[in-house]
Amino acid sequence: MNPISRRTVMTVGASALFAVGTASFLAACGHSSEKPLPAPALSKTASAKLKVIDDELGFFLARLASAEADGARIARVADQWVKRGKFTGDGADFDSALLLLEKGDKLQSRFDPRIGGGHAHALWARHRFLECRAEAEKDLKISPEDSDLQGLAADCAEYSGDTAAGEAGFRKMLEDNSRQSIPYIGLAYHFEIAGDLEQALDLLNKALNATYPQPLGYERQAYVHSVLGDVYAKQGDIKNAKLQYRWALSKKPDYAQALNGLVDVAQWEGNDDEAEKGLRDLIDSESPTADYELKLADLLDRHGKKEEAATVRKKAETFYEWSVSTGYDGYLRPLAGMKLAEGDFKRAAELALRDIEIRPTTESKAIYQNVLNQAKNAGKPIDESTLKKIVSKPIQDAPKS
């Protein structure tokens, strides 16, 4: 099956659901983006990884189709759609998750925190931080002890610029149970962006030792070690940064964030050949790859390989444009940066404005103001009233069965 073709996997077991009256929400998940993913879309290795995701999706769909749908099964399928969306950068995958959760919620006789939490998580993964916070806080009124919802609400407060509420939320979680990893990780981010790197390091180490509801799994450990590496790198402590990235890889050998960290270390140490190899390996094995392609293009430019750099950079830009057009908001900032560099000030401003809508932080507002300033300095001032508002596409409705 072509990994980016229409969702043929969604037909698995669908007919069985008509017998129990839940066909409507399962059928709703068969749509995909109108625009195909730019070719060549995925390497052979990345295609194989996506096939695993799709096979798992098919398995969980079959389970959902085989019995009366409940919150756990619905949330598991939605989570798999979110996992797919993170891999493809396709807004339609997040649409599938959100629509499934909405339909599933209507089938439940009472509030199910697994569905509420799944909805908030899908919005978070799609970078809809204000919407995620609103959803999580609404559901917390019904299920106030749900630690996942508490963490999402605090996390989205941080990401959307309300850092005081984010910090308060995480501290409240620790007051309730000091053995949780989520609030330590959240507070570490809070202090990292505030510039208190020593505090961030201390909190991340505490997260590694958290044991509730169970000790961190290998992938989560790899994540925390990678963030530790990033924080040490910000301090200029390259030795400890490298050590943390290697610790992460000892937990999960192909962990992309750690591999990317080692690419940065190689460049800081002046080993551009090693950095280039690391980036090419990531581009060959991961998805999405546009962020790595931009770094590779910059490295190639430094070595005078202008033609290849331009080709690689254009490929990244094409992907960013496609992903944003599908309704995924995670690439607004890098695309705005590329448009600004190209002198397309109006498009850069429109993208930056959308970024402010989803996370009205000091940084996002500064990015927008920078676009306006550069446009003015270039003799092309922007009339803000003429900017085209980037409106996210609504979630597609379910087809009639």
From residue 160, alpha-carbon distances to 115, 130, 189, 305, 358 in Å are 23, 6, 13, 39, 7
Of 81-85, 157-161, 211-215, give the lowest mean pLDDT range: 211-215
Please state which CATH number belongs to domain 310-401: 1.25.40
CA–CA dist 349, 224 (Å, integer):
34
CA–CA dist 324, 204 (Å, integer):
32
- pLDDT(399) > 70: no
Specify the DSSP class assigned to residue 58. Answer: H
Residues in the chain: 401
pLDDT (tens digit per residue) in 253-290:
999 999 999 999 999 999 999 999 999 999 999 999 99
pLDDT (tens digit per residue) in 356-375:
999 999 999 999 999 999 99
Count of other CB atoms within 10 angstroms of residue 239: 8
What is the Cβ-side half-sphere exposure of residue 68, based on CA atoms within 13 angstroms?
A: 2
Instruction: Give the 3-state secondary structure of residue 1.
Output: coil
**Whole-number pLDDT of residue 392:** 61
Instruction: Select, from the ranges 7-21, 28-42, 211-225, the one with the highest average predicted confidence (pLDDT).
Output: 211-225
What is the Cβ-side half-sphere exposure of residue 326, based on CA atoms within 13 angstroms?
A: 28
DSSP, residue by residue, 156-198: HHHHTT-HHHHHHHHHHHHHH-TTBSHHHHHHHHHHHHHT-HH
CA–CA dist 365, 372 (Å, integer):
11
Domain segments of the chain as ranges: 1-126, 310-401
Sequence letter at residue 179:
R
Count of other CB atoms within 10 angstroms of residue 130: 18
- pLDDT(377) > 70: yes
**Whole-number pLDDT of residue 5:** 31
Count of other CB atoms within 10 angstroms of residue 21: 10
CA–CA dist 369, 364 (Å, integer):
9
pLDDT (tens digit per residue) in 105-141:
888 777 888 898 999 999 999 999 999 999 999 999 9
CA–CA dist 163, 257 (Å, integer):
25
Sequence letter at residue 158:
E
Which H/E stretch holds residue 366?
Answer: helix 362-377
pLDDT (tens digit per residue) in 132-186:
999 999 999 999 999 999 999 999 999 999 999 999 999 999 999 999 999 999 9
Count of other CB atoms within 10 angstroms of residue 198: 10
Count of other CB atoms within 10 angstroms of residue 345: 19
**Whole-number pLDDT of residue 286:** 95
CA–CA dist 342, 319 (Å, integer):
16
Torsion sign across C-alpha atoms 271, 277, 280, 284:
negative
- pLDDT interval class at 46 (50, 70, 90): very high
CA–CA dist 260, 230 (Å, integer):
10
- pLDDT(26) > 80: no
Torsion sign across C-alpha atoms 45, 48, 54, 59:
negative
- pLDDT interval class at 393 (50, 70, 90): low
- pLDDT(103) > 70: yes
Phi, psi of 180 (to 5 degrees): -85, 145
Instruction: Give the 3-state secondary structure of residue 350.
Output: helix
Give the distance from CA 369 to its chain's centroid: 25
pLDDT over 90 percentage in the chain: 79
**Whole-number pLDDT of residue 199:** 98
- pLDDT interval class at 34 (50, 70, 90): low
Count H helices and E strands in the chain, helices first.
Answer: 20, 0
**Whole-number pLDDT of residue 38:** 59
- Which residues, 6 or more positions from 257, have their beta carbon under 8 angstroms from its beta carbon? 222, 223, 226, 227, 248
CA–CA dist 105, 322 (Å, integer):
31
**Whole-number pLDDT of residue 108:** 77
Instruction: Give the 3-state secondary structure of residue 212.
Output: strand
- pLDDT(352) > 90: yes
- pLDDT(397) > 50: no
CA–CA dist 23, 15 (Å, integer):
7
- pLDDT interval class at 33 (50, 70, 90): low
**Whole-number pLDDT of residue 156:** 97
Instruction: Select, from the ranges 13-22, 30-39, 279-288, the one with the highest average predicted confidence (pLDDT).
Output: 279-288
Q: What angle do CA 113, 115, 120 make, to 5 degrees?
A: 90
**Whole-number pLDDT of residue 314:** 96
